[in-house]
Amino acid sequence: MASAANTNMNAVRETMDVLLEISRLLNTGLDMESLSICVRLCEQGINPEALSSVIKELRRATDSLKASENSTS
């Protein structure tokens, strides 16, 4: 039983490594933790396109805030 759990854990780790490499090739800017959260959300039924839109909007808002902070400093 422990062997099956180890095999499953290794498969999950390998899958996440491949997804992270694809993410890097596509220049998504997602780290392993962020990518894991996105995968879990998709597994729970969140629409991937909607998730992508939210991430893009959050990045735009963050960039806008940083820009406004830099211009007031």
pLDDT at 72: 84
Rounded to an integer, the average pLDDT of 3-15 is 91
Q: Tell me: pLDDT of 28 over 90.
A: yes
Place of tokens 């007031």: 72
Per-domain residue ranges of the chain: 1-72
Q: Tell me: pLDDT of 39 over 90.
A: yes
pLDDT at 1: 63
The answer to whether the beta carbons of residues 8 and 1 sit under 8 Å apart is: no
